Copies of this chain bind each other. A is one copy, B any other.
Amino acid sequence: MKAIIVRPGEKGAVLKDIDLKENVGENKVKLRTLRVGICGTDRGIVTGKLSFTRAPEGFNYLVLGHEGLARVEEVGENVNLKEGDLVVPVVRRGCGKCSNCKIGRQDFCETGEFIEAGIRGKHGFMREEFVDDAKYLVKVPRDLGELAVLTEPLSNVMKAYNELVFVQKRSVWNCEDSTFGCRRATIVGSGPIGQFFAMVFKTNGFDVTVVNRREPNQIEEKISKTVGYSFVDTSKGLEDVPDSDVIVDTSGYPSAFIPLLKKMKRNGVLLLFGTVGGEKDEIYSDLITFFVEYNISVIGSVNASKLDFEQGMTLLSVWKTRYNGVLQDMITKIVKPEETQDAILEKQKGSIKTVIEWSK
């Protein structure tokens, strides 16, 4: 079958015919790939910037792709899915050794011996079909259809949000009327992850500001209006950034979020989500004193549990109804498998999410 593969250590991605023998035994499911999203991690892999990329054992290549959506074609014994069901596969598979992996929280794996489909040690979903364990497949509610390709990136946002809300129970953080209506979240970055954060916070009652070092493009402007958040161009200064209870960085650049910390309120949280290489910045001991005196917490968050995938799908259903057309608008480009390498390498102005269509 056709697959997009990379060779760890080398740059570039190619569409190739590969021959993978995977049996549909007990607890297994055979799947036809429908759509696969492309994200910054894919770009990092293809440009050779991500050092942890790794082919599966016994292979000298890795099938790319971790934002999958597929249709069930055949089920083994003991599987609670049926032909025709749409599913989204979970990316990370646990080490089987640490407590977190044993209870399905491989996103908190302690050993680091997990594998990740399309990233390290396990073939990804950019191929015509694949076989997977039923327990790693999240069933898509019928109303979502192909929009479910957005589930995987959203799942990581859900995990971060859930962790944030949990951590903030360290003090009374709900407002005086029990809601989050008095809380302000400022999101650094307006890519798909930034947009999802904005929607999650809005749906949960927060006041939301998204910042970037430029003016919003047309799509961003439309989304910001529909969802109901403010967009601030910080290249013009930070005056319009409101005092915030949460600052979420989706950029990975210290220079993008450290200056914003002067807008952080007492008991606030800095949520770190973005990763990038090679930049440096200065911090002062005054910032440390501020963190202490203001009870600030910082949370680095990666990956997601299967529950986060399910909760993401629930929110997608809400947004489908509530934010007329916004989810469709976020998918700014649909490409064929042959166009994948280009789609990964050229990040076009005004694009939000590109997905590869493998089948309908």
**A residues in contact (CB < 8 Å) with B:** 99-100, 102-105, 107-110, 112, 135-136, 141-143, 163, 166-167, 169-172, 174-180, 203-205, 249, 252-254, 265-267, 272-286, 288-302, 305-308, 310, 314, 317-318, 320-322
Contact = CB atoms under 8 A, between A and B. Distances in A.
Contact of A103 (B172, B267, B273, B298): B172
Given A102-B103, A107-B295, A108-B172, 11 more contacts: A110-B265, A110-B266, A143-B321, A166-B169, A204-B310, A252-B288, A276-B288, A282-B283, A292-B300, A292-B301, A295-B301
B99 A102 contact: yes
B293 A275 contact: yes
A302 B289 CA distance: 10
Nearest to A255: B285
Nearest to A266: B110
Contact of A292 (B204, B273, B288, B291): B273
A167 B281 CA distance: 28
Contacts of A205: 307, 310
State the oligomeric state as a number of copies.
4
A297 B298 contact: yes
Nearest to A323: B143
A276 B286 CA distance: 7
B297 A274 contact: no
Best-buried of A179, A253, A266, A288 by chain B (most CB within 10 Å) = A288
28 contacts: A99-B102, A100-B267, A102-B103, A107-B295, A108-B172, A135-B176, A142-B322, A143-B321, A166-B169, A166-B170, A167-B297, A174-B307, A179-B310, A204-B310, A205-B307, A249-B288, A274-B288, A278-B285, A280-B283, A280-B285, A288-B300, A291-B298, A292-B302, A295-B301, A297-B297, A298-B298, A317-B317, A318-B321
